[in-house]
């Protein structure tokens, strides 16, 4: 008998997320049926989109069900199999959720994706070579479509998505300016990830001051922007956009606690003929193979760098997630589960 520890959504947050919104339970793992496999999770991905799923309101996806395991990407290994498609010991990525084990129908297409941990660290398949990396790749290359010599600005530039956006833009000959919170993060954005400059938004408490900092860092204006935050960052950025600038809206973390986030000078969209487009990367699966091929090659050869913040044990997931929403992580936020690989 194997016990599975899981974290459920106990209640919907009212405003900021708290630990009381989650509940840790232990359940017994049943025997496998024909075609099923048992995956032992090694890493759990924590991502900002999960906050939106905790709400009951209308969104691009069904809300997280109360009393059910929290949604989340996972990487792990198969420890038991009654499927002809998977062998014990294979490493796989899936949407296993906030739990240590998951039973998966091995015959269901797309439920699991095999990965190889010999060339790329397993944890990277949840970050730079996973959903965050593909999000960066798609938003930058398909929506912003940068040209060599253009200036690209990235908010939340030290995060799992933003850091990849900047590096991909640099590889394509762009000047890249990041926006991050704190001197340590800004220093890493420039020194580790290769951005040309980074603005510490904590030093600029209002839109005017932040817009002035963007103008100083972007003397030729802004041609493309990858938005992860919204609010005053987007307001300040729009003031410095060149005509026909493209803005890819990946996330709006400024409003994840439920408050509205109006645009301060909406007339700039018309006056500067700006293109703003939100996107959900899971709706563009046809681009994933191409993106993962490039990202995997860059990580394997050391040309794409990334950082990780790792919490230990499934019980640490709620606190780590709350920290993520408040910018306490550095790079990709993961939970390394207490169980370890057999190899």
pLDDT of residue 9: 97
Tens of pLDDT, residue by residue over 294-311, are 999 999 999 999 999 999
CB-based contacts of 275: which residues, under 8 Å, 6+ apart? 244, 245, 246, 247
Tens of pLDDT, residue by residue over 20-47, are 999 999 999 999 999 999 999 999 999 9
DSSP-H helix ranges across 218-264: 232-239
pLDDT of residue 338: 66
Q: Given CATH 3.40.50.720, say whether it is the number of domain 131-282.
A: yes
CATH topology for 3-124+308-336 is: Quinone Oxidoreductase; Chain A, domain 1 (3.90.180)
**Does residue 190 or residue 52 have the better pLDDT?**
190
Tens of pLDDT, residue by residue over 240-293, are 999 999 999 998 887 777 778 889 999 999 999 999 999 999 999 999 999 999
Tens of pLDDT, residue by residue over 174-205, are 999 999 999 999 999 999 999 999 999 999 98
pLDDT of residue 262: 87
Question: How high does pLDDT run on average in the chain?
Answer: 94
Where would I find the beta strands (DSSP E) of the chain? 3-9, 22-28, 36-45, 74-81, 91-94, 101-105, 112-114, 151-155, 175-180, 197-200, 222-227, 241-249, 275-278, 308-312, 332-336
DSSP summary character for residue 103: E
Q: Taking the model in full, what pTM does it have?
A: 0.92
User: Is residue 2 very low, low, confident or very high in pLDDT (cuts 50, 70, 90)?
Assistant: confident
pLDDT of residue 279: 96
- Residues 271, 299 contacting (CB under 8 angstroms): no
Domain ranges of the chain: 3-124+308-336, 131-282
Which residue from 335, 333, 337 is spatially nearest to 160, judged by alpha carbons?
333
* Percent of the chain whose predicted confidence (pLDDT) is above 70: 97
């Amino acid at each position: 008998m194997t016990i599975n520890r899981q974290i459920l959504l106990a209640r919907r947050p009212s405003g900021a997320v708290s630990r009381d919104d989650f509940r840790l339970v232990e359940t017994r793992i049943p025997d496998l049926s024909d075609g099923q496999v048992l995956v032992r999770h090694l890493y759990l991905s924590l991502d900002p989109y999960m906050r939106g799923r905790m709400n009951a309101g209308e969104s691009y996806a069904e809300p997280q069900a109360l009393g059910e395991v929290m949604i989340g990407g996972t990487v792990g290994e198969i420890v038991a199999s009654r499927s002809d498609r998977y062998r014990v010991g294979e490493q796989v990525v899936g949407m296993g959720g906030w739990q240590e084990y998951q039973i998966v129908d091995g015959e269901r297409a797309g439920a699991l994706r095999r990965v190889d941990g010999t060339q790329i660290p397993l944890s990277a398949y949840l970050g730079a070579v996973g959903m965050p990396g593909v999000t960066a790749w798609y938003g930058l290359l398909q929506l912003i479509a940068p040209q060599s010599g253009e200036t690209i600005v990235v908010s939340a530039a030290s995060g799992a998505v933003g850091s990849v956006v900047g590096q991909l833009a640099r590889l394509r000959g762009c000047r890249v300016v990041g926006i991050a919170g704190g001197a340590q993060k800004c220093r890493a954005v420039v020194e580790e990830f290769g951005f040309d400059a980074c603005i510490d938004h904590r030093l600029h408490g209002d839109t005017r001051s932040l817009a002035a900092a963007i103008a100083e860092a972007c003397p030729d204006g802004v041609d493309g922007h990858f938005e992860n935050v919204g609010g005053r960052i987007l307001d300040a950025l729009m003031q410095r956009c060149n005509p026909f600038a493209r803005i890819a809206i990946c996330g709006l973390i400024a409003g994840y606690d439920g408050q509205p986030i109006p645009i301060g000078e909406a007339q700039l969209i018309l006056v500067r003929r700006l293109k703003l487009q939100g996107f959900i990367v899971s709706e563009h699966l046809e681009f994933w193979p191409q993106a993962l091929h490039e990202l995997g090659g860059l990580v394997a050869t050391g040309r794409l760098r990334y950082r990780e913040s790792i919490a230990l044990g499934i019980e640490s997931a709620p606190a780590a997630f709350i920290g993520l929403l408040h910018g306490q992580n550095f790079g990709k936020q993961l939970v390394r589960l207490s169980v370890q690989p057999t190899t």
